[in-house]
Amino acid sequence: MRPETLTPLFAPAQSLSGIGPRLVTLLAKALPLPPNVNEPRIIDLLWHLPTGIIDRRAEPSIAHAAPGSIVTLRVRVLRHRPGPRGNKRAPYKIACEDDTGRIDLVFFHADRRFLERQLPEGEERFISGRIEQYGQKLQMTHPDYIVPPDARSELPLLEPVYGLTAGLSGKVLYKAIRQARDKVPQLQEWQDPSWLAERKWPPFHDAIARLHRPEETTDTSTGSDPWQRLAFDELLAGQIALAMIRATLKAQSGRRIEGDGNIREKIRHALPFALTNSQVGALEEIDADMAGPYRMLRLLQGDVGSGKTVVALMAMATAIETGAQAAMMAPTEVLARQHMETIEPLAKEVGLRVALLTGREKGKSRKQVLELLASGYLDILIGTHALFQPDVEFADLALAVIDEQHRFGVHQRLALQAKGGAGGANMLVMTATPIPRTLLMTHYGDLDVSRLTEKPPGRKPIVTKALPVDAMERLIERLRAQLNEGAQVYWVCPLIENTGLTDLAAAEERAAHLAQIFGKESVGLLHGGMSGTAKDGVMARFADNELKILVATTVVEVGVNVPNANIMVIEHAEQFGLAQLHQLRGRVGRGDRQSYCMLLHKSSLGDIAAQRLQMMEQTEDGFAIAEKDLALRGGGEVLGVRQSGMPEYRVANVPNFEDLLAAARDDANLLLTNDPKLESPRGQAVRTLLYLFECDEAVRLFRAA
C-alpha cells in the first residue's frame, strides 16, 4: 500500500482550484504521464519541470528601463484611453507614471471593464513585462503580470518556463504547479547523509520547491543541485526496484535442465556453417544457467546476422533432450514466420516437431496445434502474443525464448514464463538492438547478459556512403546498372504520404516516382498503414524476386529476410537515430552479393546529424554505434524510440547521467545487501521513494511472480 503521506500527491489534478474538465484535457497533452495513466495527477504536475526561466528581478524606474528588456515597475495609473468607438483593431492604452517618467500599457481586443478593475485610475500597481520604445514613448504591450502592492508576493521575480500545448497558457499552468508544490509533504530522508553533504544537495522538499520557484537563475538548469538531487532520486528508485526484482528472481528455484547433447549434436552437423566463438561462449553461459538451481533469465544480444536464432535453437534442443518443450515468441507475425522458416528445416532434419501459432491460425488449424501442444507431441511452438493466451497449454514447458524483448512488457514476459508450471520456465530473451552498457544497467538490470560479437564466416562488409539528396539522379543511374545484374533494392522513406506539412520524402510519392522510371511491375510499397495480409503479400513478392525495388517506411526495420536484396537506400537519413539506421542497414548484407547502404541527406546538416552519418560510414559494429547513439541522444531517449516495457525518465535526463546511474547502482546494491527487506529506518524511507517514483508496481509484480 502507498504510504498515507503520499496520498495528496496522487490525487487528480482536477482537485486543484481552477482546474476544470477542459484544463484536464490540455494538461493530459502537456504533462509527462506514465503509460497507464490517462488523467493527470498532482505528481504529474510536479514532474513537469521547467525548460527555462524568465528573470523579472530588474526593478528600474521608468526613466532607466532599457527598451527590449524584461522589467518589473511600480507605477501609478493615470488614465484609460480606449480606441475610437467602432474601431476594434485600435489598441486600448493606459497611461501610467512614476516619479521619473511615463509609460503606456497597450492592450489589443481589450475588455474595458476587466482592465478598469485590474488598473483603477489613481492606484498603484506592480507590472512586469517587456519594455518597448514606440517613437519617443515607452510602452509595455499586454504586461505578463499586474498585481496590487499587497499581492506583490504573487509576482514571480524568477519565473520558470514550462512546455505547453495549444490552448494552455503559461500563467494557468504556473498557478496549477504552484498549488501542486504546496502539497509536497516533508518526507523522511532516503539518501545517505554523507552522500548528500558531499554533493551539497538540498533535501527533497527543498529541491522540488526550488525547481518550481527558483531562487537563482541556474536553479532550473539540469546541472543544478536541485535537479541533480531529483535525478539521483529517480535513478536510485529504478536501481533498487531492479535489484529487488533480480534478487526475487534469483531466489526462485527453477528446474535443472541438463540434456545428453544428442539432438544438439545432430543440429550442429546439419548446419551449413560452424558456430562462431561468440555463439559457443553464449551457449556455455546458457547451459550453466539452465543446469543451475535457479530459474534462468538471460538476455542474448547480438547484431543483425550474428546468429541468435541458432543459439536459441541449440538451447531449446537441450530442453527437448530432457523430454520437455520449448517456445519462441516474436513481436510480429512476419518475424515469427521468419523464425519458423529458419528453424523448421533444421528441426525436420533432426526429428523435432515444430508448429506456428499466430493470430492468423484460427478454427480447426488452431485447435489442432493446441491439442498437439497439450499432449506433448509438439517439441517447439513458435508464435506471437498468441502464445500467452489462456487456452494455450503446454504439456511441459521448460524454456521460453522471447525475441526483440524490448517490444514486450514485463507482464507479458511473466505470462509466458508462468506457462512452465510450478517451477516456471527458464527464460532467454533476445534483441538485435545492440544495447549500451549504461542502458543494460537501467533497463535490463534484472537480466544476465550474453553478447554475440561476431558475424558468421563469409559475410562481406556493407559499403556505406552518405550522399546529398541532389545526387539522387546519379544514384538512380547506379541502381539501374545494379538491377540489370540481378540486384534488389530497399528504399526507405520517413513518411507514408506527403501531408504538405513537411518536405520529407513520402513513401507513396517515391514509389510512384520510381515506378515511372523502372516500371510499375518492378516497384512495391510497404508501410504500417497496410493490413497484415497486404504487407505479407508485398513481402512475399519481394522475397520471390518478382519486385525489384521495395519502397517502405521503417516497418522493414525488424524481421524481413531477403538474402538477394543487396542495396538499402535511406532517404532523409538525417531524420533517423543511429540505432535505427543500423537496424535498417542490417536488412542487406545477407547474401553472396556485395551490399551497399546509401544514406541520402539534405545538403546542409547539423553537427549531430553529420556525426551520425559519419559513424555509419565508419563502422558496422552495432555496439560501438549504440554507445555513440547514447552519447548523442542522452540517456532518456532510449535507442531512438519510446518502446513499451521500457522506463521513461521524467527527471534523470541530465548531463552526467552515466555517473549518477553508476553511483545509484552501487548505492542500491549496498543498501539491499545490508537491508534486503528494507526494514531499517533508511529502508523504510526508501520504500516511500519507490512509491513516489511509482516503482512499487514492479516490486509488487515480481514479489508475486
Q: What's the average model confidence in pLDDT over 102-115?
A: 94
Q: What is the pLDDT of residues 128-173, one digit of tens each?
A: 999 999 999 999 999 999 999 999 998 999 999 999 999 999 999 9
Instruction: Give the pLDDT score at 698.
Output: 52
Lowest mean pLDDT among 93-102, 253-262, 475-484: 253-262
Lowest mean pLDDT among 222-236, 313-327, 505-519, 634-648: 634-648
| Reported confidence tier of residue 641, pLDDT bands at 50, 70, 90 | very low
Q: What is the pLDDT of residues 347-396, one digit of tens each?
A: 999 999 999 998 888 889 999 999 999 999 999 999 988 887 888 999 99
Average pLDDT along the chain: 87
Q: What is the pLDDT of residues 597-612, one digit of tens each?
A: 999 999 888 888 899 8
What span, in angstroms and rounded, lies between the C-alpha atoms of 382 and 339?
8
Q: What's the average model confidence in pLDDT over 100-111?
A: 95
Q: What's the average model confidence in pLDDT over 588-605?
A: 88
What span, in angstroms and rounded, lies between the C-alpha atoms of 538 and 544?
10
| Reported confidence tier of residue 640, pLDDT bands at 50, 70, 90 | very low
Lowest mean pLDDT among 244-248, 270-274, 530-534: 244-248
> What is the three-state SS of 40-92?
CEHHHHHCCCCCEEEECCCCCCHHHCCCCCEEEEEEEEEEEECCCCCCCCCCE
**Which stretches of 397-459 are assigned E, i.e. beta strand?**
397-403, 426-431, 448-452
Q: Which residues in the chain are classed under CATH 3.40.50.300?
A: 262-452, 463-619
Q: What's the average model confidence in pLDDT over 192-209?
A: 95
Q: CA quadruple 614, 619, 624, 626: dihedral positive or negative?
A: positive
pLDDT of 701 over the 80 cut: no
Q: Of 637, 639, 634, 638, whose CA–CA distance to 654 is shortest?
A: 634
Q: Which residues in the chain are classed under CATH 2.40.50.140?
A: 57-155
C-alpha grid cell, residue 498: 506527403
pLDDT of 268 over the 80 cut: yes
Instruction: Give the pLDDT score at 442.
Output: 59
Using an 8 Å Cβ cutoff, are 62 and 103 in contact?
yes
What span, in angstroms and rounded, lies between the C-alpha atoms of 410 and 31?
24
Q: What is the pLDDT of residues 523-541, one digit of tens each?
A: 999 887 787 788 888 888 9
pLDDT above 90: percentage of residues in the chain: 59
Instruction: Give the pLDDT score at 606.
Output: 84
What span, in angstroms and rounded, lies between the C-alpha atoms of 215 and 220?
9
Q: What's the average model confidence in pLDDT over 272-291?
A: 93
Q: What is the pLDDT of residues 10-61, one digit of tens each?
A: 999 999 999 999 999 999 999 988 867 889 999 999 999 999 999 999 999 9
Instruction: Give the pLDDT score at 305.
Output: 74
Q: Of 524, 549, 556, whose CA–CA distance to 537 is shortest?
A: 524
- Strand pairing class (565-570; 488-492): parallel
Using an 8 Å Cβ cutoff, are 466 and 616 in contact?
yes
DSSP string covering 243-271: HHHHHHHHHSB-------SHHHHHHHHHS
| Reported confidence tier of residue 573, pLDDT bands at 50, 70, 90 | very high
pLDDT of 643 over the 50 cut: no
Q: What's the average model confidence in pLDDT over 436-461?
A: 72
In terms of phi and psi (left: phi > 0; alpha: psi -120 to 50; beta: otherwise), the region of 339 is alpha
Q: CA quadruple 668, 672, 677, 682: dihedral positive or negative?
A: negative
pLDDT of 503 over the 80 cut: no
Which is more confident, 546 or 307? 546
Instruction: Give the pLDDT score at 580.
Output: 82
Q: Is 89 exposed, middle or buried (0-12, 13-18, 19+ CB in 10 A)?
A: exposed
Q: Which CATH number describes the domain made up of 463-619?
A: 3.40.50.300
Q: Is 6 exposed, middle or buried (0-12, 13-18, 19+ CB in 10 A)?
A: middle
Q: Of 414, 360, 431, 334, whose CA–CA distance to 643 is shortest?
A: 431
Q: Which CATH number describes the domain made up of 57-155?
A: 2.40.50.140
For residue 12, the 8-state DSSP code is B
Q: What's the average model confidence in pLDDT over 448-462?
A: 81
Core vs surface per residue 67-78: b (16+ CB within 10 A) or e: eeebbbbbbebe
Instruction: Give the pLDDT score at 414.
Output: 63
What span, in angstroms and rounded, lies between the C-alpha atoms of 605 and 594?
29
Tell me how long the chain is: 705
Residue type, 395: A
Topology of domain 262-452, CATH: Rossmann fold (3.40.50)
pLDDT of 699 over the 70 cut: no
Q: Of 447, 431, 452, 430, whose CA–CA distance to 621 is shortest?
A: 452
